[in-house]
Structure 1
Amino acid sequence: MIRAYWNYFLYVVNHKVNVMIECWKEGLYVQGIVHDLSKFSPLEFVPYAKKFYSGKPLSPEDGLKWDYAWLHHQRKNKHHWEYWVINPISKEALPMPKKYVIEMVCDWRSFSRRWGRKVKPTTLNLTDSIIVHPDTKKELELLTSREEKSSAP
């Protein structure tokens, strides 16, 4: 299990560096540093490491711990759209402050950076599959359209 913890630690550090690079491009210096710090808490760290790096299926107990860890992560990190949802059934959400919308896009960009270090605009086009306030959706569409224009040949 030590190897799983180490590999997950390396993944989180790599992810944080990639998000920090993207946030700093946007002038979000503090957010670039504090992004996803909750992943180092035992409540999140252990279940994430077991799920993604143990190489074994999760027991029902560990599966429940993983569910709690994911919920904890969404509820502690304002750059997750889920943080702002007030009623998933009626698809109601509060508007996200712009800095968190930008951090969310930086988070999405970081996954593209992880695989080949190129940002893929298609990765950013999630606005129809998530629950966000109409103002947040407009902001996301502006940001993602800017991405598409900057990566066009």
Structure 2
Amino acid sequence: MLKACLKNFLYIVEHKLNVMVECWKLGLYLQGIQHDLSKLSPVEFFPYAKKFFAARELSKEEQEKWQLAWRHHQRKNKHHWEHWVIDFDSKKAAPMPRKYLLEMVCDWRSFSRKWGKQVKNHHLDLSEKIILHPDSRRELMDIIYRGKDGDSSSSH
């Protein structure tokens, strides 16, 4: 388990650095620093370590703890669209503030930094698969497709 914990910690640090780079490009300095800090909390850290780095099947109890950790992460972190969902059944969501939409896109872009590929806008467009308030959906499309994210390079 110690090896799984170390791997998880290194993964979290690398992810946070990648997101921080993307956030800082947009002037989201504090968000870049605070991004995903909940992953270091015991309720998330240990279930994540077991799920992704223990190299074995999870028991039923461990799977339940993982599900709780994932829900905790989504609800604790405002850059996750799930945080803003009022009712999953009716697909109703509260408006997501722009700074969290931007952080969400930075989170998505960070994965390209890890895998060494340039993100294409069509890879970011998860808007049909996620529940967003109509105003937030329009703003997300502006950020992704019209370069209205404050990034002067607009080369994403």
Q: Normalising by structure 1, report the TM-score.
A: 0.94
Gaps of 5+ in 1: none
Partner of residue 76, structure 2: 76
Query: 2:42 corresponds to which letter in structure 1?
Result: P
Partner of residue 3, structure 1: 3
Query: 2:11 corresponds to which letter in structure 1?
Result: Y
1:1-150, aligned counterparts within 5 Å? 1-146=1-146, 150=154
Identity %: 61
- C-alpha distance in 2 between matches for 1:3 and 1:135: 44
- C-alpha distance in 2 between matches for 1:139 and 1:38: 26
Partner secondary structure for residue 45 of structure 1: helix
Give, in angstroms, the shift of residue 15 of structure 1.
Answer: 0.2
Contact 1:112 1:120 in 2 (8 A): no
- C-alpha distance in 2 between matches for 1:116 and 1:29: 23
Q: What is the count of residue pairs matched by the alignment? A: 151
Partner secondary structure for residue 126 of structure 1: coil
Partner of residue 150, structure 2: none
Name whichever structure is richer in helix by fraction: 1
Query: 1:16 corresponds to which letter in structure 2?
Result: K
Give, in angstroms, the shift of residue 117 of structure 1.
Answer: 4.7
Q: Normalising by structure 2, report the TM-score.
A: 0.93
Query: 2:92 corresponds to which letter in structure 1?
Result: E
Gaps of 5+ in 2: 148-152
